[in-house]
Amino acid sequence: MRWCPKGYGGTRRDPDQVKRDGWHDEGVLAVSVDDHRLTWPERELVRQLGEKLYGPRADEREAANG
Task: Determine how many CB atoms are found less than 10 A away from the CB of residue 34.
Answer: 9
Any domain includes 28:
yes
3 state DSSP class of 18 = helix
Any domain includes 31:
yes
DSSP string, 20-58: HHHHHHH------TT-TTS-HHHHHHHHHHHHHHH-S-H
Q: Model pTM? A: 0.68
Confidence at residue 66, expressed as pLDDT on a 0 to 100 scale:
55
51 and 65 Cβ atoms separated by less than 8 Å: no
Number of structural domains, the chain? 1
Task: Give average pLDDT by consecutive 10-residue segment, the chain, 66 residues.
Answer: 74 92 96 96 97 90 59
43 and 33 Cβ atoms separated by less than 8 Å: yes
Any domain includes 52:
yes
Q: Which range of residues forms the domain containing residue 49? A: 15-64
Confidence at residue 20, expressed as pLDDT on a 0 to 100 scale:
96
Confidence at residue 10, expressed as pLDDT on a 0 to 100 scale:
77
